[in-house]
């Protein structure tokens, strides 16, 4: 299934995949997709935001994909830390305290879920553009 919704900033939010409802989560789970979606909208520079569900056997992967600035590996290692913001995020005219991804991490760990952030070069390399993927693994 694919569902498209347009954000007021003109970017589309595309939801893809299917979930069979085999996984149970606590009410606090809603912090996870909201934090990821907020970050993608806030820091994405171009293109649509994709929300992808991939269910295989007993694992469900929930990913949010956006296109923005490349996040260096040394910053990816700290991105879920309390109060941490990337150097590029600090320079942008975007408010933030570095708490959204930290709250996501706390909730994910309480649920026993895995989390991951990837940033790979994409588009104009001279402008340091990247495809950024934030994933949660529900087992």
82-139 per-position pLDDT tens digit = 999 999 888 887 888 889 999 999 999 999 999 999 999 987 777 888 999 999 999 8
Burial of residue 7 (CB within 10 Å: 0-12, 13-18, 19+) is middle
Whether residue 80 is predicted with pLDDT greater than 70 in this model: the reply is yes
**Percentages of the chain per state (helix, strand, coil), in multiples of 5:** 30, 35, 35
Predicted TM-score (pTM) above 0.85 = yes
Local structure of 92: helix, strand or coil? coil
For residue 67, give the DSSP letter.
E
Confidence band of 3 (pLDDT split at 50, 70, 90): low
Local structure of 15: helix, strand or coil? strand
Per CATH, the architecture of 2-19+26-138 is what? 2-Layer Sandwich (3.30)
Ordered by start, the domain boundaries in the chain are: 2-19+26-138
């Amino acid at each position: 299934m694919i569902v498209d919704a347009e954000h007021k900033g003109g970017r589309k939010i595309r939801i893809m995949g299917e979930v069979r409802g085999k996984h149970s989560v606590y009410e606090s789970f809603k912090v996870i997709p909201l934090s990821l979606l907020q970050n993608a909208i806030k820091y994405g520079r171009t293109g649509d935001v994709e929300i992808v569900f991939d269910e295989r056997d007993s694992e469900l992967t929930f990913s949010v994909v956006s296109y923005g600035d490349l996040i260096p590996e040394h910053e990816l290692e700290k991105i879920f830390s309390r109060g941490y913001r990337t150097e590029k995020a600090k320079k942008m005219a975007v408010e933030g305290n570095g708490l959204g991804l930290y709250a996501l991490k706390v909730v994910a760990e309480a649920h026993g879920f895995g989390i991951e952030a990837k940033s790979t070069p994409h588009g104009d390399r001279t402008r340091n553009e990247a495809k950024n993927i934030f994933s949660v693994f529900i087992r």
